Amino acid sequence: MAKTKKQQNNGLLAFFRDKLGVDKNKLITSLLAGFTLPFVLCICSTLNVFFTNADEFYFSPADFMGFYTLIGLGAFAVITLLLLLTKGLLRNILFSLFSGLGVMAFVQTMITTLSFKGLPGDGNVAPSPQWANVLNFCLWVIAIGAAIWFGSLTNKAEKGRTVLSFLLILVLVMQTFTVVPSAITYASSKSSDEGTVPTDGSVSYLTTKDMFQLSKKKNVVVFLVDRFDSYYFDELVNTDPHFFDDFDGFTYYADNISTYPRTYPATTSILTGVDNDFSGTRLEYFEKAYGESTFLSDLKDNNFKINLYIPDYYAYQSASVFKDTVSNVSTASGYTVVSEDALRWEMFNLSSYFWAPEIFKNNSVSSKTFASIVRPDGEAKKYEMNDPAFYDEYQAQPDGVYTQNDQNTFSLYHLRGCHYPYNMDENCNPVEDNTVTSFQQNSGVFKIIREYIQDMKDLGIYEDSTIIITGDHAMLSSDTADLDNPFITALLVKQSGQSGTPMSTSYAPVCQDNMFAEIVKSANIKTNNDYGTAYSDIPEDATLTRTMFFQKMGNTDENVTYEITGSGLAWDNWEVVDRQDIGGVYD
């Protein structure tokens, strides 16, 4: 007599129960452990890292999440079957191992998120000391060892597995409550007007168009070398006393103070003169600063063609914020993923930076990593801070710098410069991170500037041009502690009309606030706006009070205001006059 369907099912369940020991509890715990680990690593971590950095990406989750979903489902099936098909001590050890890995990956993600300030390869992460990496790895080993011990090897192992199951459920709940709000925020940002983000799906950005074009008339050229601290200037000179011999007509200002300690909001502040009180979001500051500033408009009114080569996210969000003042703006309605495999791999590297033990983290993923993989479909290439690529483009020009005779030009180049990781040699070749010294990298940076200046000399436009070489900020010794020494940003200035004389040094107490006035004076800009006092109009013996705003990182970031009265080279002249909680600097 043939068996009924019910009898067949009962027989199958009996087989699994009797031969493999699969009861209801084993099935549930196997599904729980099998689901949690890939859910944390493949789904939540990848989505969270995307949502956290969405403002820096031109692609969407649809470009990579299908792949990670398939990987996650495959891992879920393998882990679940492995836990179902094993029995006894081996099964308990495997369950404890997978549970421990899932819990620790979640814990590590939460710890990393607290200190995360942007893509690690953009210089937002200082190398961790080896002892910290070893300690973190030891904590992983201890935690997973404890999970295996209490879930498998003690006489209360059953209770230990119950605790592990509870922790897995807690991880699932907490991960869900971190991903869902981020997804809602991301979806909302795509469907609403945030001031500097186009609402029609287009992307407005600064391009490399006319990057080496100057004028036969007036020129103002600013090289903003990231993190150009006076330390790096001194290193160049002390290593090679003749390093700046060909920078004739320049004055080196040895006591120059920048307003901010990081690229955001320093670059925007330099371009606009508008301070950030951190009362609003990053996008709101961009809208306010570029909207209120009169400097770029004054340049345009004086027949200047304005080209800005600055990084997005840190200096602007959408180039639409520049209105009609800047020339090298393009708008793209879409984007092209150059390599889907490369995109998936780099998203893995970035997500693993959150959940992996410190010793295995990949710190190299940067904005330029994704810029080479995903490109907006605009008229011209998007400008990225990549000094070797900048030099390659310069060399690709038949004559290097070239000129037009229709307008004056104002060109500002933000180079990666002195920022770690050191990954460019003295000949501007890209190298592996930190395989060269700061002297080699900075020699490469000034090789670019030196050849650019030589082209200006060959074209006969050097003497009548205004050239400023400075940093957006100096070098921080710590993100999380008050300053403990003078914060001096290197500054070299060549006024229009100056050339043929050796570079001189001035100890005048100057600061970022003096830049506009120097440009207005040197380039003879006609304006009704008062931009203050030029660098060159401040005597060396002047006793002035300058202000620097330092954003100290912590659970809640703090804006620390320093006033510097007299020489900024003397630490005793630096005084904290205000502290303000600002939430998060990049919020």
- 395-434 pLDDT, tens digit per residue, is 999 989 999 999 999 999 999 999 888 999 999 999 998 8
Which of 191, 217, 251 delimits the end of a domain? 191
8 Å CB contact between 3 and 11: yes
- Containing 244, the helix (H) or strand (E) segment is none
Query: For residue 474, is pLDDT > 50?
Result: yes
Query: Does 270 have pLDDT greater than 80?
Result: yes
For residues 475 and 231, the answer to whether their CB atoms sit within 8 Å is: yes
pLDDT score for 334: 79
**pLDDT above 90 (res 31):** yes
- Is the per-residue pLDDT at 457 higher than 60? yes
Given 542, 559, 576, the domain boundary residue is 542
Looking at the fold, whether 150 and 231 belong to one and the same domain comes out as no
Same domain for 319 and 383? yes
Nearest Cα residue to 377 out of 333, 318, 320, 327: 333
Containing structural domain, residue 180: 7-191
pLDDT value at residue 388: 95
Per the domain annotation, does 69 fall within a domain?
yes
Distance in angstroms (rounded) separating the CA atoms of residues 365 and 307: 28
Instruction: Round the average pLDDT of the chain to a whole number and report it.
Output: 90
Half-sphere exposure of 323 (CA within 13 A, CB side): 13
> What does R_g of the chain's alpha carbons equal in angstroms?
29
Residue 23 has pLDDT above 70, yes or no: yes
Among 147, 163, 191, identify where a domain stops: 191
**Contact of 73 with 205, CB cutoff 8 Å:** no
CA dist., res. 514 & res. 533, Å (int) = 6
Domain count, the chain: 2
pLDDT of residue 35: 95
What is the per-residue pLDDT across 214-251, written as a single tens digit (0 to 9) for each?
999 999 999 999 999 999 999 999 999 999 999 999 99
Q: Is 563 within the bounds of a domain?
A: no
Same domain, 412 and 496: yes
Which H helix or E strand runs over 97?
helix 88-115
Query: Does residue 495 lie in a domain region?
Result: yes
- Do 275 and 388 sit in the same domain of this protein? yes
**Contacts by residues 147-153 (CB-CB < 8 Å, ≥ 24 positions apart):** 147/96, 147/97, 147/99, 147/100, 147/103, 148/93, 148/96, 148/97, 148/100, 150/96, 151/92, 151/93, 151/95, 151/96, 151/99, 152/89, 152/92, 152/93, 152/95, 152/96
pLDDT at residue 196, rounded to an integer: 40
Alpha helices, H only, 357-421: 367-371, 387-396
Phi, psi angle pair for 39, to nearest 5°: -65, -40
Of 76-90, 116-130, 149-163, which gets the smallest average pLDDT? 116-130
Query: CATH code at 460?
Result: 3.40.720.10
Residue 151 pLDDT level (bands cut at 50, 70, 90): very high
pLDDT at 573 over 70: yes
Same domain, 36 and 74: yes
**319 lies in the same domain as 426:** yes
Question: What span, in angstroms and rounded, lies between the C-alpha atoms of 517 and 534?
Answer: 5
Beta pairing partners, 55: none
